[in-house]
Amino acid sequence: MKPPIIIIGANDFQNQLILRAKAMGYTTHVFAWQCGDAGERTADYFYPVSIVEKERILEIARAIKPVGVCSIASDLAAITVNFVAEGLGLVGNGMESAMTATNKHLMRRAFEKAGLPSCKSILVTEGTDLSALPLRFPVIVKPTDRSGSRGIRKVSDPKELPGAVAFAREPSFEKKVLVEEFAEGREYSVEYLSWQGEHTFLAVTEKFTTGAPLFVETGHLQPPKHLDEKTLANIRSLVPQVLDCLGVRYGASHTELKVDGDGTIRLIECGARMGGDCIGSDLVPLSTGVDFVRGVIDVACGAAPTFEPIGKTCVSAVRFLFSQADLDALERIRRESPESLYRVSEIPPIDGHEIRDSSTRYGYYILTAGTMEEMETLLQKAGLS
């Protein structure tokens, strides 16, 4: 009989986890709000329960008796994963760590206490006098408890601050906002996999965004093009300290940071889960050969992960669709370099709606190339150069 595993979330990113767990011989029990996502169809058992209903999921999970609970690309799901795992006595980081790693204010406090190079920030609640804040512009305004670029805005003029705070408060669950100094430089994310407090480096990803004011991700490249070996070594020295200060001992982590022209590193945030946007599920195995998704499943089920490469490595990238022009670029690549397309998501009609955060993008496609030079040509066609 196939052992049961619980997966929190059913969207396209989570579906890669569902498919991998099934291929490994697990019976997948998937919980998510029912809205037609791919995982609703691929799961062995699908439960139309929102991922935020952690108490109800735990109650159902007691009857399922899973060998592990996991998710790969969502802060919200990570809270429920740890709540259910703790309730069932399964592998996890515990709720204290989960809350610190999903609340940007608590995270900033932890970074400050540990003496890590984090951006300075101020917590803003409903009664805060914005005119009295000791700020140096420009600043970044963001919700304390959301991801996927939701509610983020760069502010250069103090007159714009009240509107930006209202914009950030709207998607926040706790209706709290951070106003923090703006860090200059290129942005990167770093993937690690932890087992019993030992942290193993996997990859660094270079990020492309729309820029100010919303900074919605337009794509990711792995390995990065602009990172030198000295800075990479400094990053690999820093991130394990980040994970230790957040109490992350098990599973995937996704640390975002910026590096300026002098090589100075500033921490943005760290999630105790695999990076979304196909970073962990696809780019890591493509560029390193390591089956990151399998590692997440192994850890959740109480087994030490393996880091032995399982296939050839290449340069990989993901490009997100924002407009008809982006779709036209995809069709050009499909005609001229079809061998470079690793996967193309489902793409709805391009109706011209505003792209305010990651959840409102139209879809994506993943590119592979044998060399960085070949990838640069593809990225130029994709509009990411």
H or E segment at 140?
Answer: strand 139-143
pLDDT in tens, 206-263: 999 998 888 999 999 999 999 999 999 999 999 999 999 999 999 999 999 999 999 9
pLDDT of residue 74: 87
Query: Residue 27: beta bridge partners?
Result: 4
106, with CB counted inside 10 A (0-12, 13-18, 19+), is middle
Q: Which two tokens stand for residue 343?
A: 């996967």
DSSP SS3 for 96: helix
Question: Model-level pTM?
Answer: 0.94
pLDDT of residue 20: 97
How many CA atoms within 13 Å lie on the side-chain side of 374?
13
pLDDT band at 131 (very low <50, low <70, confident <90, very high): confident
**DSSP annotation of 170:** T
For residue 167, pLDDT beyond 80? yes
pLDDT band at 73 (very low <50, low <70, confident <90, very high): confident
pLDDT of residue 135: 83
Report the alpha-carbon distance of residue 78 to residue 199 in Å, rounded: 18
